[in-house]
Amino acid sequence: MKVKPADRTLSVQEYYFSTKLKQIDELRSSGADIINLGIGSPDMAPSENTINRLIDEVRKSNVHGYQSYNGVLTLRKAFSDWYLKYFNVKLDPVNEILPLIGSKEGIMHISMAFLNPKDEVLIPDPGYPTYSSVTNLVGGIARTYDLLKKNSWLPDFNLLEDDDLSKVKIMWVNYPHMPTGKKGSQILFERLVVFAHKHNILICNDNPYSFILNNDYQSILFVDGAKEVALELNSMSKSHNMAGWRIGMVAGHKDYIKTILKVKSNMDSGMLLPVQLAAAEALNNPESWYEEINSVYLKRRKIAGEIMKALGCKFDPDQTGLFLWGRIPENIESCNSLTDDLLNKAHLFITPGFIFGKNGERYIRISLCADEKTLLNAKERVVKYSKLGYKN
């Protein structure tokens, strides 16, 4: 290239799934029938009323222009009602909620809004890779903190307190946790809020999995004093089968939201109005809708568990979210070698846990975003593969 890229691009690599999907496309173009159980993109549709609302609204002639940067009040009010109903959290729709073009966007906005160069950020290991990559892109310093099975995938506050936290500005948490499926709790969030107040740290809870295989809805914003030191991201991607719609939100103290809006308003021009109104419709789905979706995921997780067992993996059956997380057998070299072997020999893609950090190196993750027929097909392939033997 004649023009040298910015130095910040050297701090990150292309997203793992981006490169892996290219490999899968190449295999498929050569005739291979690849089953992809790697990515958590819901394969079911949003509710019928959501789709109908979108169709009705998009036919109108006056809804296709630019929208406000902070989203229409109808959507913010729907998010507010949703949080009150399910999380028992009161949020002012006028100034404590900011709709986003997906919660992943919010990770960047929050980081740009609060991090100066060399500010430190506590990032869970294992955890969502975007926390680290965005921190690096904005010039922050990523500091991982361990989540271990022996601690039930929860932060070890004693170890955190032993470190110098004077330069830490943000701490990312994600409960229900991805990739381990560990549920959050009131006790955990209370400890996080106390920790944040003590060390003047902004806790950011990324909460998109709270409705999947879970009916114990938890929000860090329920804790007294949380709004002073915490933000919460949420998303309609998983909970409402709307991943491609790109609708999320960040909630918290009005001053934090105002600061994030300064960044966001310089990066996009709002969401299409019909999409916002359809999203508001989706947030009014009855509780029975979530129950019906989870009944499907429960059947799928049973088959995913059978796949784990066929591979000799151990897993906690009390997991939430769109995935099943399991530890690989000790005789297998690594999670990466296992998943590559499965892709090449069984034409099955499963996510290796190393992409989530060093504490994921002995784990794999199976997505539940495939129908039962596909999962059963994957199980058959794994059974045949296991009979042949790993790297046989």
Range in 44-48, 281-285, 386-390 the model is least confident about: 386-390
Residue type, 233: L
Mean pLDDT along residues 193-221: 97
3-state secondary structure of 77: helix
| CATH no. for 7-45+288-388 | 3.90.1150.10
Correct CATH for 62-285 of 3.40.50.1170, 3.50.50.60, 3.40.50.300, 3.40.640.10: 3.40.640.10
Q: DSSP string of 301-354?
A: HHHHHHHHHHTT-EE-S---SSEEEEEPPTTSS-HHHHHHHIIIII-EEEEEGG
Domain boundaries defined on the chain = 7-45+288-388, 62-285
pLDDT band at 391 (very low <50, low <70, confident <90, very high): low
Its pTM stands at 0.94
On the question of pLDDT at 6 being above 90, the answer is: no
Enumerate residues 6+ apart whose C-beta is below 8 A from 87.
210, 217, 218, 219, 221, 222
On the question of pLDDT at 169 being above 90, the answer is: yes
pLDDT per residue as tens digits for the range 302-317: 999 999 999 999 999 9
Structure tokens, 78: 């729907």
pLDDT per residue as tens digits for the range 171-190: 999 999 999 999 999 999 99
- The per-residue pLDDT of the chain, averaged, comes to 95
On the question of pLDDT at 72 being above 60, the answer is: yes
